Amino acid sequence: MNIPHVYNAFKGIGRLRLLESGEITAATVKNCDILIVRYVTRVDKKLLAGSRIKFVGTVSAGTDHIDLRYLKDQEIAFSAAPGSNAESVAEYVIAALLSLHERGRISIPEATLGVVGIGNVGSRVAEKAKTLGINVLLNDPPKRRTTGDKSFRPLSKLMDSDVITIHTPLTFTGKDKTAGLFGAERLAGLKRGAVIINSARGGIVCERSLKECLESGRLGGAVIDVWENEPDIDPGLVELADISTPHVAGLSQEARLAAVCMIYAAVCAHFGIPSVWNPSILRRAPLPCVRSPGETLYSVLHGAVRRIYDIEKDSAEFKLEVVKVPTAGAAFTAFRKRYLRRFEFSSRALALSGPARFVRVMRSLGFNPR
Neighbour tally for 79: CB within 10 Å: 19
Cβ proximity of 138 and 170 under 8 Å: no
In this predicted model, what pLDDT tens digit does every residue of 67-85 receive, in sequence order? 999 999 999 999 999 999 9
Cβ-Cβ contacts under 8 Å for 88 (sequence gap 6 or more): 249, 250, 251, 252, 254, 255, 342, 344
Q: What is the pLDDT of residue 347?
A: 87
Among 11-15, 137-141, 238-242, 317-321, whose mean pLDDT is lowest? 11-15
How confident is the model over 315-320, as a mean pLDDT? Answer: 98
In 3-state terms, the chain is what percent helix, strand and coil (to 5)?
Answer: 40, 15, 45
- Res. 98 pLDDT band, cuts 50 70 90: very high
Among the residue ranges 42-51, 113-122, 173-182, 299-308, the one predicted with the least confidence is 299-308
The single residue of 201, 256, 342, 348 carrying the catalytic annotation is 201
pLDDT over threshold 90, residue 49: yes
On whether the CB atoms of residues 343 and 322 are closer than 8 A, the answer is no
| DSSP code per residue over 204-223 | SB-HHHHHHHHHHTSS-EEE
**Average pLDDT estimate for 15-35:** 95
Judged by DSSP in three states, 28 sits in helix
Q: How many CB atoms lie within 10 A of CB 154?
A: 10
Q: Taking residues 92-102, what's their average pLDDT?
A: 97
Q: Which amino acid is at 312?
A: E
What separation in angstroms does the CA of 369 have from each of 129, 240, 348, 362, 366? 19, 36, 9, 7, 9
d(CA 113, CA 367): 22
Report which of 248, 313, 317 is spatially closest to residue 89, judged by C-alpha positions.
Answer: 248
Please state the CATH superfamily assignment of the domain spanning residues 284-369 in this structure. Erythronate-4-phosphate dehydrogenase, dimerisation domain (3.30.1370.170)
Q: What is the pLDDT of residue 227?
A: 98
Tens-digit pLDDT profile for residues 157-200: 999 999 999 999 999 999 999 999 999 999 999 999 999 999 99
Give pLDDT, residue 294: 73
Q: Is the CB of residue 333 less than 8 Å from the CB of residue 253?
A: no
| Predicted pLDDT of residue 182 | 98
Helices (H) and strands (E) in the chain, counts: 15, 12
Which is catalytic among the residues 101, 247, 342, 348? 247
Residues in CB range of 29: below 8 A, 6 or more apart:
35, 47, 48, 51, 53
Mean pLDDT of the chain: 94
Q: What is the pLDDT of residue 1?
A: 60
Domain limits, CATH 3.30.1370.170, in the chain:
284-369
Which among 211, 130, 196 has a CA at the least distance from the CA of 166? 196
| CB distance 224 to 40 below 8 Å | no
Q: What's the whole-number mean pLDDT along residues 89-106?
A: 97
Please identify which of the residues 87, 91, 230, 344 carries the catalytic annotation.
Answer: 230
Secondary structure (3-state) at 196: strand
pLDDT digits (tens, 9 = 90+) for 85-96: 999 999 999 999
Question: Which pLDDT value is given to residue 354?
Answer: 67
* Per-residue pLDDT tens over the stretch 251-274: 999 999 999 999 999 999 999 999
Whether 282 has a pLDDT exceeding 70, the answer reads: no
Taking residues 101-121, report their average pLDDT.
96
Comparing 287 with 22, the larger pLDDT belongs to: 22
Q: Indicate if 321 belongs to the active site.
A: no
Q: The domain 86-244: what is its CATH number?
A: 3.40.50.720
Q: How many C-beta atoms lie closer than 10 Å to residue 208's C-beta?
A: 13
Catalytic status, residue 230: yes
Is residue 293 over pLDDT 80? no
Fold designation for 6-80+252-271: Rossmann fold (3.40.50)
369 prior amide bond cis, ω within 30: no
Angstrom CA distances, 212 to 184, 216, 235, 239, stand at 9, 6, 14, 13
CA distance 243 to 100: 9
Q: What mean pLDDT is predicted for residues 216-226?
A: 98
What percent of the chain is predicted at pLDDT more than 90? 82
Enumerate the CATH 3.40.50.720 domain ranges in the chain, comma separated.
Answer: 6-80+252-271, 86-244
